[in-house]
Structure 1
Amino acid sequence: MRCQPRYKGLVYIWLKNKQSCLLCNEPADGTAPICMACETELPWLGDHCETCALPLPAAGLTCGQCLKQPPRFETVIAPWTYGFPVDSLITRFKHSAKWPFGRLLAELLAQFLQHRFDEALERPDALVPVPLALKRLRQRGFNQAAMLARWLGASLDIPCEEQLLKRIHDTSAQQDLKAEARRKNLRNAFALAPDAPIKGRHLALVDDVLTTGATAQALARLLMEAGAARVDVYCLARTPKPGDAT
């Protein structure tokens, strides 16, 4: 009896020198399965809020929301806006278990972060994936944030600590809610693991997309109140303000 499903597609091996682009199927230029043309055309995040990475019309600014209510996290690092084809790749990775797409995006995010570290962004002590509710984890079969954090940790040589945070209440799906409803939805949704080593550490939360920042804010507050020295947020994409062009 066959124990493995039949799969006729390509299996991407990051140690190989020759890859085909996952987006256009042309030969890739490097070890990651994406060609230079497709990588250039990704929706790279331009000018944005220095704190929450919200797309803005000019560089070096802080958005009104962050000025009015400064979040507990220090900064959000995201390479892209949530637009085509990144939005499609994230959706297929997250909801259809197309892991090569997630791995590709994680590899590009790792390169982006390394560039920022070289430009004096402070390296964190550990990567902490946003936890997934147990019910949703059982339905999906994996936590996409945890997978991203593992890939980033391996590429950047930063420990990935998946057990620091727990999601103790199963809440409604965040994408179906507006900003205030998201904040209310997350009240008391998270907790620290017993004896979690938090005090004095610089931690980076890892997730796929930042929309209103409600989840990141809830987790950052929890970590900072437990004594963390600093909390950053690393994600693949940042959504624009509702009504703005992507």
Structure 2
Amino acid sequence: MDLVPLYFRSVISIADVVGNNRCVVCGAAGDVFCQSHFLFFQENTDFSSDKHWWFWYYSSKAREIILDIKKHKQFRVAYRLGQYMGLYLKNTEASQYFQHITYVPHHSKEFKQTMFSMPFLIAMGISDIMEKPIIHLFVKTKTHSQHILSADKRRNNLKNVYNINRKVPKVGGPVLIVDDIVTTGSTLKSLKNLAVGYGIKKLYTITLARTPKWSDVI
């Protein structure tokens, strides 16, 4: 993973140079989003009692934007969204909650196919704003798909899919786990259990969006 941040930053820098500074929603002037759309999405930001933040509800427009980011590998947009989320966290008491940032990883084969990771790009944006280091805490040991599964099947499908990255020096926490979307919370729950078993006692999670299926399992 050592070269991945350098690769991502190189792509983002190029995108900054050639970017047209237009809102990805309406085309009006703005860095990724125009002021009106950014304020609209920001109003959906929330913090729940179980230490999970989300920036958007997974509405039709949010879904359209997220799918477009992934389909067209919009590094700059994903990174800027991470920065916006970092600014929100920095302006709240959340800035003192955690010391390290990690993310939901892709399997190495999946990453080689796409060379794109939205959770990692979001984590980079948050890290740069909050000046908190990213640690590559988890590894994905099996490829799997969760998109069409029920909540129970999602939880069963996650058995032995992720593991702790033993190459990372042990940290005591607190740690913020970053993902792009939370549906049932089964992935984040699985990672939190791994982290707790590894000795990290305080964990927080943040996602760009949450769906109506989201439960309180995390």
Query: Do the two structures share a fold, i.e. TM-score over 0.5?
Result: yes
Identify which of 134, 150, 153 aligns with 1:178. Answer: 150
Question: Shift of residue 107 of structure 1?
Answer: 2.3
Secondary structure of 1:89's counterpart equals helix
Question: Shift of residue 147 of structure 1?
Answer: 1.5
* TM-score (norm. length: structure 2): 0.81
**What percent of counterpart residues are identical?**
22
Aligned-pair Cα RMSD in Å = 2.6
1:19-34 correspondence runs (5 A): 19-28=21-30, 32-34=31-33
> Is it true that 1:167 corresponds to 2:143 in the alignment?
no
Aligned residues: 201
Q: Which residue matches 1:216? A: 188
Question: Which whole-Å CA distance do the structure 1 matches of 2:114 and 2:15 have between them?
Answer: 21
* TM-score (norm. length: structure 1): 0.72
Q: 1:33 to 1:131 in 2, by over 3 A?
A: closer
Question: Which whole-Å CA distance do the structure 2 matches of 1:237 and 1:116 have between them?
Answer: 19
Identify which of 143, 155, 162 aligns with 1:190. Answer: 162
Q: 1:80 to 1:35 in 2, by over 3 A?
A: same
Q: 1:200 to 1:48 in 2, by over 3 A?
A: closer
> Is it true that 1:145 corresponds to 2:119 in the alignment?
yes
Identify which of 184, 200, 204 aligns with 1:228. Answer: 200
Gap runs ≥5 in structure 1: 1-9, 52-74
Q: 1:27 to 1:95 in 2, by over 3 A?
A: closer
Letter in 2 for 1:90: I
Q: Deviations over 1:198-225 (max 9, x none)?
A: 4521111111011101000000000001
Q: Which residue matches 1:103? A: 79
- Whose radius of gyration is greater, 1 or 2? 1
Q: Which residue matches 2:178? A: 206
Question: Shift of residue 114 of structure 1?
Answer: 1.4
Question: Shift of residue 176 of structure 1?
Answer: 1.6
Q: Which residue matches 2:90? A: 114
Question: Which whole-Å CA distance do the structure 1 matches of 2:172 and 2:47 have between them?
Answer: 29
Question: Shift of residue 135 of structure 1?
Answer: 2.4
Secondary structure of 1:78's counterpart equals strand
Question: Which whole-Å CA distance do the structure 1 matches of 2:148 and 2:54 have between them?
Answer: 22
Secondary structure of 2:205's counterpart equals strand
Gap runs ≥5 in structure 2: 1-13
- Is the Cα contact below 8 Å between 1:93 and 1:100 reproduced in 2? no
